[in-house]
Amino acid sequence: MAVQTFLTDYESPLGPLVLASDGERLTGLWMQDQKYFGSTLPEEKALQWTEAPVFAQARRWLDLYFAGKKPDFTPPLAPAGSPFRQAVWAVLRRIPYGGVTTYGQIARELEQSDGRRVSAQAVGGAVGHNPISILIPCHRVVGADGSLTGYAGGVEKKLFLLQLEGAPMEGLFAPKKGTAL
């Protein structure tokens, strides 16, 4: 028997978001037209557009966040992914609100905790496949040179989220333009 997945919409300043839940935890949050949109969703017949209790918590978190406030709670999250991706997403959750880090810094942190070599490219793949955007803050990861690369929602949305949080923008640039922000 297929596990039921609940879906709902949320209107954000970035456009429509789709939230997914297993009934108790948030399992997905995607922006419209995002790369890998819905990549962890089960087959269509297991999807149900309805409310789940966790959606109220997620909406409250998003309302605070988009109002420019740092939420003081996180709804229960259950992103589906390999152990490596789970480890990367755990590091993402520790990046402070308004902070930024690089793919290489995450790789070094994982190497220190695990003892195995980790490439920045492997970290980038895991960051890009994050199924719970914004709440697991993959937008806070930038290239070693300050480029705003690797955001499945697009560079302009990454820029919006970083500015909303008041992140330090000095030295960051959009990769295609190569101009400082």
Residues with catalytic roles: 138
User: Any bridge partners for residue 28, and if so which?
Assistant: 20
User: Could you tell me where the DSSP H helices lie in 67-154?
Assistant: 83-93, 103-114, 120-128
Helix, strand and coil percent figures for the chain, each rounded to 5:
35, 20, 45
Burial 105-144 (b: 16+ CB within 10 A, else e): bbbebbeeeeeeebebebbbebbebbbbbbbbbbbbbbbe
Of 18, 24, 71, 13, give the one whose Cα is nearest residue 40: 18
Neighbours of 91 (CB within 10 A): 20
9: helix, strand or coil:
strand
Burial of 174 (0-12, 13-18, 19+ CB in 10 A): middle
The single-letter code of the amino acid at 181 is L
